[in-house]
Amino acid sequence: MRCEIDRSIFAELLAGVTNALPSKSAYPVLNNITLDVSNGKLALAGTDLDTYVRRTFTLEGPSEDGTVVVLGRKLAEIVREISAPTIKLASTERSLGLEAGRVKASLVSLDPSEFPEVPKLPEGVTMEFPLSTWFELFETVSFAATKDESRPAMTGINWEVSKTETRMVGTDGHRLAFISRKGKFAGKLKIIISPKVFPLFPRGEEKFTVHMDPAKVGFVFQNATIITRQIEGPYPDYERVIPKGYPAKALVEHEVFAAALRRAAVFAHPVGRLVALDFSKGKLGLKAETPDVGRSEEETECDYTGEPVRIGFNASYMLEILRRLQSEKVAVELSNPLSAGLFKPVEDKPDTEQTFLLMPIRLD
């Protein structure tokens, strides 16, 4: 194969593919990606056997068809360090050569037959979905998914679409993030997908097509295809978990609350990151203490209704939630020191609902 490509475009294509490669694997071939030139297009592909990603780009200059398999991250490292505007690629039987300005390099290549077989696109449910909406939903909830592999369903994001609504949920058992958006959608689906697919999605497109069967889900874009296995369920019954009708509610200025939490977090113990919140009429108190560091105590104004409540939360978890609440004021709904707290935006976007649930830490 032989072609010439803009360095920045090539770097972006590589990043979109190498993100799919495993960090560790018993199969060395999975550290490689394929570069294929055919009919004036360059296609890059990589996989960790759970997720397969393919990115394509239409070449402008002359090219020769062919396929080469090389170490993906090593190629990406080389390209990142090149300052020349264009890169020439040319393969031989055993290597891939790069030329860019005064730089000449080559990577050892494998026989293309050693690369895993390309999975077929699922042939079940097919529907179109707006990409900007998907990004908004996923960025809101993905942080809450667990990394504990012993609970496989909760390592994924629960995504549901109906004719009039789409929603996503992430949870690790200590916190839960929920977002829904009203609208008109082209079909129905309910799947659990890994947050690892998020960095693989290309930016700048208006929509994508979802292809789904009981085992896999495929996302097809104008110049990219991602096929990943569905995570087996069942997913936790999040609607039952989210409480309704809490008796106490506080309205706090978003930036004031976040700033006070950041200050208190300096003194929070490294284990648990505990900050005690004292809610009472007209005020919110924040306290944190670590014996060998010191202690912090602060008060700020809030609009509070209900009986006074003193409750402890993980400061880092609260700050992660606040970063995703895009409103000037935050509503905190409470029942008692041992029940989960709810964090919501006061000014929801039209047709959008957000709820974040956080389990408390027992205060001695």
CA distances (Å), origin 81, targets 70, 73, 76, 145, 196: 18, 13, 9, 34, 26
| Residue 363 lies inside a defined structural domain of this protein | no
- Cα torsion through 137, 139, 141, 146, rounded to 10: 140
Mean pLDDT of the chain: 94
Do 149 and 42 lie in one domain? The reply is no
Is residue 272 very low, low, confident or very high in pLDDT (cuts 50, 70, 90)? Answer: very high
Per-residue pLDDT at 348: 67
Residue 287's nearest CA partner among 174, 176, 364 is: 364
What is the domain range of residue 264?
A: 243-358
| Residue 75 lies inside a defined structural domain of this protein | yes
Do 104 and 65 lie in one domain? The reply is yes
Boundary residue ending a domain (182, 207, 240): 240
Residue 307's nearest CA partner among 344, 284, 272, 281 is: 281
Do 177 and 165 lie in one domain? The reply is yes
| Residue 216 lies inside a defined structural domain of this protein | yes
Boundary residue ending a domain (200, 220, 240): 240
Do 79 and 142 lie in one domain? The reply is no
Residue pLDDT, tens place only, 141-192: 999 999 998 999 999 999 999 999 999 999 999 999 999 999 999 889 999 9
Per-residue pLDDT at 96: 97
Residue pLDDT, tens place only, 65-86: 999 999 999 999 999 999 999 9
Boundary residue ending a domain (197, 220, 240): 240
Do 234 and 161 lie in one domain? The reply is yes
Q: In what order do the strands lie in the sheet with 309-314?
A: 294-301, 283-290, 274-280, 309-314
State the residue for tokens 């593919």. 17
Do 351 and 277 lie in one domain? The reply is yes
| Residue 119 lies inside a defined structural domain of this protein | no
| Residue 354 lies inside a defined structural domain of this protein | yes
Beta bridge partners of 51: 228
| Residue 364 lies inside a defined structural domain of this protein | no
Do 150 and 53 lie in one domain? The reply is no
Check pLDDT > 70 for residue 56: yes
- Give the CATH number of the domain where residue 323 resides: 3.10.150.10
Do 97 and 131 lie in one domain? The reply is no
Do 13 and 86 lie in one domain? The reply is yes
- To the nearest 10 degrees (0 to 180), the angle between helices 315-324 and 254-265 is 150
The secondary structure of the chain, three-state, reads CEEEEEHHHHHHHHHHHHCCCCCCCCCHHHHEEEEEEECCEEEEEEECCCEEEEEEEECCCCCECEEEEEEHHHHHHHHHCCCCCEEEEEECCCEEEEEECCEEEEEECECHHHCCCCCCCCCCEEEEEEHHHHHHHHHHHHHHCCCCCCCHHHHCEEEEECCCEEEEEEECCCEEEEEEEECCCCCCEEEEECHHHHHHCCCCCCEEEEEECCCEEEEECCCEEEEEECCCCCCCCHHHHCCCCCCEEEEEEHHHHHHHHHHHHCCCCCCCCEEEEEEECCEEEEEEEECCCEEEEEEEECEEECCCEEEEEEHHHHHHHHHHCCCCEEEEEECCCCCCEEEEECCCCCCEEEEEEECCECCC
Do 322 and 337 lie in one domain? The reply is yes
Give residues with Cβ within 8 angstroms of 105, minimum separation 6: 78, 97, 98
68, 96 Cβ separation under 8 angstroms: yes
**Model pTM?**
0.89
Check pLDDT > 90 for residue 193: yes
CA distance 151 to 192: 13
Do 181 and 194 lie in one domain? The reply is yes
Per-residue pLDDT at 124: 82
Q: In what order do the strands lie in the sheet with 2-6?
A: 2-6, 86-91, 95-100, 103-108
The total domain count for the chain is: 3
| Residue 41 lies inside a defined structural domain of this protein | yes
State the residue for tokens 């394929």. 34
Query: Looking at residues 115-139, what average pLDDT do you find?
Result: 92
Per-residue pLDDT at 349: 78
Residue pLDDT, tens place only, 321-352: 999 998 999 999 999 999 999 999 998 678 99
Residue 191's nearest CA partner among 211, 220, 174 is: 211
Do 252 and 222 lie in one domain? The reply is no
214, 200 Cβ separation under 8 angstroms: no
